[in-house]
Structure 1
Amino acid sequence: MSKAIRNQALGIGFAILFIGALIGQSFAGLAVYNDDQTLHGSSPVGYWDFVTSSNFVVDVAENWQSEYLQFFLFILATVWLVQRGSPESKKPGDEGLDSDENQMVGRFAKPNSPKWAKDNGWRRHVYSNSLLLVMGTVFLLSWWLQSVAGTVVFNADQVSHGQPEVGWIEYATSADFWDRTLQNWQSEFLAVGSMVSLSIYLRQRGSAESKPVGTPHDESATEGE
């Protein structure tokens, strides 16, 4: 059991952090929401009512869609674009989908390779792009959920101010929706760009996200292999 936990420690650790942060957000959000309710002469709501409300859902979905967009674009970009010296990049000249031999697919697959990697039809094509497909799907679903929940929250605010309600398409093309969306996107793009660029010159000993400490700055992660 201890070996299994150790072998999965990174995933388990981040799962615990995620659950803890989500629970913390729910209680902090409930407090803020009920303060606002009291300020406007409305009754406070209970925990379950809040976490199933559009107010909570829109904030969660807003964060999720930006995170999965970040990974979707980063995975896609690193197929075709390189950054010399960054451990987050292939070395210059290795752009593209790579050969079947290097990817160990089809007749080059190992005996213990995933079953779909050995297939020569559509299954291999789907599996070869499965990470990008899942990241993109979660992004689109989260973005759609944000827009739907955001419409409900926006309309509640419209009603409280004596303004007419709007439809989903009208809200999804509104400044409010894109303000919430783009402020998350820009922070994700900044974070990824900073990681790619700073890791050229800075190191963290023992981290898989860093080059070895003594690696020359202009050497990409795979060049010494």
Structure 2
Amino acid sequence: MTGVRRFLFLNGLSLAFGGLFLASLVGQAFAGVADVNDHRLSEGLEPISLARFVTSSSFAVDVMENWQSEYLQFFLYVFATVWLVQLGSAESKEPHKVGRESDEQQSLGKHLRKDSPAWARAGGVRTALFSRSLGVVMGTLFLLTWAASSVAGWSAFNNEQLMGREDPVSWVGYLGQAEFWNRTLQNWQSEMLAVGSMAIFSVYLRQRGSPESKPVGAAHHDTGQTG
């Protein structure tokens, strides 16, 4: 296997979803500008360009709202699965492993492996930070995308206010608007439903060969096993 083919094979999952993400984002941009222009033409207005649409606050708020709800989902899931279990779920730890687990279970201290990451070997603050790095990064990305979605939504809201000859509101004022929380909670509830469904469905359902599923022949009460 050549170097390029080996790279593609070993990184297929991230590359495939990265490609699907970009294709979906481009598709959203084209579909979005077409939808906006349909409405503008029906109102007797000139259509806008794709470039103007993708740099608009309306496009930004739609994108950021989706991103922040996804990062919220993973942030909560990473931390919740430290302490919470679902008996029989492939998405859960085994009940006796609840908590931060021992150094032996986490391959730390005297249980380090030859190929353990450098920051796992470093000890002190670096190891403490590295041991929480996934949750920290997911939480930070959630906060950044939430802030971006609120600013974009604020801009879009004020554009509508001005078009309706009403006074614009401050950013803090926008955070108190029902529209902001209606849009935000719509996204959040769908993510919580998806995570909860996956946790319970994996107790009773199987997908042969998937690491997100238990082995087909595993008992329903087997917890934390993957195929």
Could you state the TM-score of these two structures normalised by the residue count of structure 2? Answer: 0.95
Distance 1:44 1:140 in 2: 34
In 1: Cα distance, 2:165 partner to 2:191 partner: 36
> In the TM superposition, what is the alpha-carbon distance from 1:75 to its structure 2 partner?
0.7
2:220 aligned with 1:217, yes or no?
yes
1:20 aligns with 2:23: yes
Equivalent of residue 79 in structure 1, options 59, 76, 82:
82
In the alignment, structure 2 segments of 5+ residues that lack a partner are none
Aligned partner of 1:37 in structure 2 is 40
Match runs of 1:193-212 below 5 Å: 193-212=196-215
Decide which of 41, 54, 59 is 2:57's aligned counterpart.
54
Structure 1 position 53, deviation (Å): 1.1
Contact 1:30 1:50 in 2 (8 A): yes
Query: CA–CA distance in 2 between the matches of 1:163 and 1:201?
Result: 54
Q: Deviations over 1:21-72 (max 9, x none)?
A: 0000000111112223333443221111111111111000000000000000
1:108 and 2:105 aligned: no
Other structure's SS at 1:93 match? helix
Question: CA deviation digits over 1:119-153, x for unaligned, max 9?
Answer: 22100011001000111111110000000000110
- Contact residue 37 and residue 44 of structure 1 kept, 8 A: yes
Gaps of 5+ in 1: none
Counterpart-to-counterpart distance in 2, 1:74 and 1:37:
42
Equivalent of 2:190, from 180, 187, 191? 187
Aligned residues: 223
Q: Which residue of 2 aligns with 1:172?
A: 175
Aligned equivalents of 1:39 and 1:105: distance in 2? Answer: 65
CA–CA distance in 2 between the matches of 1:125 and 1:54?
39
Q: TM-score, normalised by structure 1?
A: 0.96
Alignment partners' CA distance in 1, 2:38 and 2:121: 58
Question: Secondary structure of 2:85's match?
Answer: coil
Alignment of 1:123-142 (within 5 A): 123-142=126-145
Contact 1:61-1:142 at 8 Å conserved across structures:
yes
CA RMSD of aligned residues (A): 1.2
Matched, 1:120 2:123: yes
Which of 155, 159, 163 does residue 158 from structure 2 map onto? 155
Aligned counterpart, 1:6: 9
What is the identity percentage for the equivalent residue pairs of Structure 1 and Structure 2?
52
Cα distance, 1:39–1:161 mapped onto 2, change above 3 Å? farther
Q: Secondary structure at the match of 2:218?
A: coil
Distance 2:157 2:171 in 1: 10
Kindly provide the amino acid, as one letter, of the partner of residue 155 in structure 1: N
